[in-house]
Amino acid sequence: MKTTMRNNLRRIALLGGAGAVAAVGFVGAAGPAQADSGSVWDRVAECESGGDWDINTGNGYYGGLQFSQQTWEAFGGEGMPHEASRSEQIDIAQETLKEQGPGAWPVCSEEAGLTKENGLADDGSGSDDSDEGRSDDDGESDGDSGKPQLGGA
């Protein structure tokens, strides 16, 4: 193990300059961004939309959490998702999460460490610490609510 680590460090050192910095960052990366501080919803939004809560790219999904208009309205949203405040988007996301689970954001829930427990506890204020000791939630919905699935990235 020590030899492998030493060889990896030598390879990184040979890359030089910015390449070495990028490689060290990559080698040091470990799993989902759950170690990041702040709101779990900010981490989901960073993955879904680059953290742009006002985004409308014309792809049929809107806002920081990339709601379809149909999902937005089904869970109580009014107007267009990207025109709503960050707080309003999180409120609708929590309603979506209650019924559809983290699977409503199939890729980004994994990357951000979103679970029903931490997503419902996190009001977006950045004081969420409930993602420590994550549950083994598989992201599956507990049932078919008949409401449209969120089409996040």
For residue range 78-123, what is the model confidence (pLDDT) as tens digits? 999 999 999 999 999 999 999 999 999 999 999 999 999 999 998 7
- Per-residue confidence band for 124, with pLDDT thresholds at 50, 70 and 90: confident
Q: How far apart are the C-alpha atoms of 43 and 114, rounded to whole Å?
A: 9
Query: What pLDDT shows up at residue 48?
Result: 98
Q: How far apart are the C-alpha atoms of 81 and 122, rounded to whole Å?
A: 19
Length in residues, the chain: 153
User: Considering the entire predicted model, what is its pTM?
Assistant: 0.62
Q: How far apart are the C-alpha atoms of 91 and 124, rounded to whole Å?
A: 9
Sequence-separated contacts (24+) of 133-139 with Cβ below 8 Å: 134/34, 137/101, 137/102, 139/101, 139/102, 139/103, 139/106, 139/109, 139/110
Which helix (H) or strand (E) element contains residue 117?
helix 116-121
Residue 132 reports pLDDT greater than 70 = no
